[in-house]
Amino acid sequence: MKGAEAIIKALEAEGVKILFGYPGGAMLPFYDALYESDLIHILTRHEQAAAHAADGFARASGEPGVCVSTSGPGATNLVTGIATAYADSSPVIALTGQVPTHLIGNDAFQEIDALGLFMPITKHNFQIQKPEDIPATFRAAFEIATTGRPGPVHIDLPKDVQEKEFDIEKYPIPATVDLPGYKPTTVGHPLQIKKAAKLIAEAERPVIIAGGGVNIANASEELIRLAELARIPVCTTLMGKGSFPEDHPLSLGMVGMHGTKAANYCVTESDVLIAIGCRFSDRITGDIKAFAPYAKIIHIDIDPAEIGKNVRVDVPIVGDAKIVLRDLIANLMRCEIKNKESWMERVNELKKASIPFMDYDDKPIKPQRIVKELMEALKEIDPNLKKTIITTDVGQNQMWVAHYFKVKNPRTFLSSGGLGTMGFGFPAAIGAKVAKPNYNVISITGDGGFLMNSQELATIKEYDIPIVICIFDNRTLGMVYQWQNLYYGKRQCEVHLGESPDFVKLAESYGIKGRRITEPGEIKEALLEAIKSNEPYLLDFVIDPAEALSMVPPGGRLTNIIQPVREEPKIRRACFEDIKNVRAEVKE
Amino acid sequence: MEHKHVISALVLHKPGVLQRISGLFTRRGFNIASITVGITENPEIARMTIVVKGDDKVLEQVIKQLNKLIDVIKVSDMDEKKTVQRELCLIKVYAPTESAKSQVIQYTNIFRGKIVDLSAETLTVEITGDEDKINAFIDLVRPLGIKEMARTGPTALMRGPKILKPKK
């Protein structure tokens, strides 16, 4: 059997049915073998989109997503997508072609040190030197990607390795993987869990921060049980959204830089803080010294390196969130849990003060109103939002949705948290829709982020993937605009995107329906029409470019939430006339 | 408080592992003072001795991050008092005259080093020991003129029967 056929066999053995990729010279033997296989390959229009789609597939389904590229530029194009998956602990398998082994190191055509390139942005990576190693390496790669703290794994595949014949009978896929340096701890230490249970039972003002790890560990049910059992209010990180239903009476919404007032104040006032599957990024803690100053911190995480990395921890528990929470609940059932009436009163008072105003009738449309009507429209179709997935891009669109959209179910809100990758949302929606074909998948994006991977309109048209794209269109890099207004004396440098393209015409040029919405009264109807159409659909919402979000300044205290003020900006912008003038001064 | 720490790591003996480890140090902003690598009694496993400078928090992160690497089997912070540490140093000393040469030979004998090469103008000394001993020898011959020098950085093992074992 040829190496390439063995790769297909290995993928099939792992249960892979769908791949996202882009062929090229060094990967041709693989694509030739693919011709004969039952695997479905989705040809994206850029490798970065293939990586994001595989990532979206993984986040929505919990199964590993697979993306493929050729060597050299194909591999470098995958990099941003793989780094995104790494930052958010998403199990993605990235296959790259490589020049034949005898040419490696000679700067051959389309050669790049892919092993070195992917090393710092993957959980692990391999370069296969001989086809005999394919079965065992693929088994190890999938094992590493999907267990412990999940993450992307990259496999570099030299062309001759793909072409060479070998006797696969002699090198079967191993039943078990033995990696001497890889033994993730899944069960939490019983003594630490007992300590945590005691602390929680005795707490007067406990708060839970649920991170992405709760979604990854599928530990939502346990989280809800814990919160209800001990009456603990729950806030989530951006990545933790969906792990706790945001319409639950104990939900505080999102915490951190763009967090709700309720969440930020509750964390600051808490006496016991239970952080689950969260890495205390700077976007969550703000000023570390002022973060949860009165709280004993219990930190549950499967990655020991996360514990104590950013904040001091009183009770560290290394383990899988689902298993640890089960044990913790069992322990807590045996404890006497303190009454929390006064804390609940305080929590509810803060929550009341956190209810956002969203009923704007303004023109241009206010983004808050779009989010509100999106919730309403979706609930008309899917009352419990069980079959609805929202992906966001990065920037203000992301934060408006993160802040205001009440996510109810795990793995239904997908966003690039750690790396903050513009261009992520739309291709990730493709992966999510492919993973969950019966779900309504809505891609919320800014105009800037959408343009970074808008070529994927061709992909959704070609494969007829019914995604609704909602562009929050302000012709501005909104988040940068806001920061320049706040921190750079309103001096707006290169954040205006201008009037092109006409997104509706752009969609139509790909054969996709598009509609521009400028009236607040049209929002819901347009959304319903797009979702119900069950075909690719682009909605261009023209929104107010000056609308900004409340936020905690970077490195600030969580309770120092500043409200945006509308300010007249000073704009810097050049045109070709200026370029000509500058060049004219240069001697011919 | 900044301290010097000697970290011993058992790693899989295969290509790219050193790159993974040094890359991790660069990326995380940990400062490596020295690193030595060599094979162990098991040909599939290499031992790295890494000297880092930093406070306890840095050390904890270094060890945890090293442990995260799939190719790293076991990591340990070596307590200096319970560790045998040795470093190899080769020093080419300028000694054009007979008296200079005999001086270097005398110093080398006192430090229990070896003369491993000789030319009309130079003597090359091989010396092993802990860091302080090597520094002392270098200080001693420096006035004569050190033409060239190569140091390995320390390598270490725990004293007594205790060994670094992979987790089961």
Which residue is listed with tokens 């969260």? A278
Tell whether B19 and B46 lie within a shared domain.
yes
Q: How many CA atoms lie within 13 A of A3 on its CB side?
A: 24
**Is A207 within 8 Å of A260 (Cβ atoms)?**
no
Q: Is B16 on the interface with A (CB under 8 A)?
A: yes
A-chain CB neighbours of B70 within 8 Å are: 123-124, 144, 179, 181-182
Partner residue facing A181 (CB), from B60, B64, B73: B73
- Rounded to whole angstroms, the Cα distance separating A444 from A446 reads 7
Cβ distance B70 to A182 less than 8 Å, yes or no, reads yes
What pLDDT sits at residue A312?
Answer: 94
DSSP H/E element including A478: helix A478-487
- Rounded to whole angstroms, the Cα distance separating A483 from A396 reads 11
The string of pLDDT tens digits covering residues A293-304 is 999 999 999 999
Residue B7 belongs to a domain: yes
A-chain CB neighbours of B67 within 8 Å are: 304-305
B110 pLDDT band (50/70/90 cuts)? very high
Cβ distance A183 to B67 less than 8 Å, yes or no, reads no
Among B30, B58, B78, identify where a domain stops.
B78
What pLDDT sits at residue A588?
Answer: 58
Mark out the alpha helices in A104-260 (DSSP H runs): 114-118, 134-146, 159-163, 190-202, 212-216, 220-230
pTM, two decimal places: 0.95
B-chain CB neighbours of A181 within 8 Å are: 11-12, 69-74, 166
Residue B168 belongs to a domain: no
Tell whether B128 and B94 lie within a shared domain.
yes
What pLDDT sits at residue A462?
Answer: 97
Tell whether B66 and B91 lie within a shared domain.
no
Residues near A25 by beta carbon (within 8 Å), at least 6 away in sequence: A70, A71, A97, A109, A110, A159
Residue B167 belongs to a domain: no
Residue B162 belongs to a domain: no
Q: Identify whether A484 is a catalytic site residue.
A: no
Phi-psi region of B29 (alpha: psi -120 to 50; beta: other; left: phi over 0): left
**Burial of B42 from C-beta contacts in 10 A (0-12 / 13-18 / 19+):** exposed
Token digits for A196? 């945590």
Which residue is listed with tokens 């989280």? A223
What pLDDT sits at residue A250?
Answer: 98
Residue B58 belongs to a domain: yes
User: Which parts of chain A register pLDDT below 70?
Assistant: 586-588
Residue B14 belongs to a domain: yes
Tell whether B106 and B120 lie within a shared domain.
yes
Residue B89 belongs to a domain: yes
What pLDDT sits at residue B166?
Answer: 75
Q: For residue B167, give the chain A residue with the closest CA.
A: A180
The string of pLDDT tens digits covering residues B121-158 is 999 999 999 989 999 999 999 999 999 999 999 999 99
Tell whether B54 and B88 lie within a shared domain.
no
Tell whether B60 and B100 lie within a shared domain.
no
Length of chain B: 168
Q: What CATH number did the domain enclosing B25 receive?
A: 3.30.70.260
Q: For residue A305, give the chain B residue with the closest CA.
A: B64
Residues near A230 by beta carbon (within 8 Å), at least 6 away in sequence: A200, A201, A203, A206, A332, A337
Residue B116 belongs to a domain: yes
**Is A243 within 8 Å of A219 (Cβ atoms)?**
yes
Nearest CA distance, B70 vs chain A (angstrom): 5
Residues near A418 by beta carbon (within 8 Å), at least 6 away in sequence: A84, A86, A87, A88, A239, A281
Among candidates A23, A64, A59, which has minimal Cα distance to A410? A59
Tell whether B90 and B41 lie within a shared domain.
no
Q: What is the domain range of residue B100?
A: 84-155
Which residue is listed with tokens 């540490």? B85
Tell whether B66 and B97 lie within a shared domain.
no
Number of domains in chain B: 2
Q: Identify whether A1 is a catalytic site residue.
A: no
The string of pLDDT tens digits covering residues B27-69 is 888 888 899 999 999 999 999 999 998 888 889 999 999 999 9
Q: Is B90 helix (H, G, I), strand (E, B) or coil?
A: strand
Tell whether B58 and B93 lie within a shared domain.
no
Cβ distance A179 to B60 less than 8 Å, yes or no, reads no
Give A493's strand partners.
A572
Q: Identify whether A98 is a catalytic site residue.
A: no
Among B78, B113, B142, identify where a domain stops.
B78
Partner residue facing B64 (CB), from A120, A127, A304: A304
Residues near B59 by beta carbon (within 8 Å), at least 6 away in sequence: B3, B5, B7, B52, B77
Which residue is listed with tokens 């058992």? B10
B-chain CB neighbours of A123 within 8 Å are: 70
Among B25, B47, B78, identify where a domain stops.
B78
Amino acid sitting at position A440: N
What pLDDT sits at residue A578?
Answer: 87
Mutate to test the interface with B, among A113, A128, A182, A309 (most CBs of B within 10 A): A182
A-chain CB neighbours of B167 within 8 Å are: 183
Q: Identify whether A482 is a catalytic site residue.
A: no
Tell whether B90 and B144 lie within a shared domain.
yes
Residues of chain A with pLDDT > 90: what percent? 92
What pLDDT sits at residue A587?
Answer: 62
What pLDDT sits at residue A584?
Answer: 81
Q: What CATH number did the domain enclosing B99 receive?
A: 3.30.70.1150
Q: Identify whether A110 is a catalytic site residue.
A: yes
Tell me the ipTM for this assembly.
0.90
DSSP state of B121: S
Tell whether B60 and B125 lie within a shared domain.
no
- Catalytically annotated residue among A1, A110, A379, A455: A110
Token digits for A384? 């419990």
**Is A473 within 8 Å of A503 (Cβ atoms)?**
yes
Tell whether B39 and B105 lie within a shared domain.
no
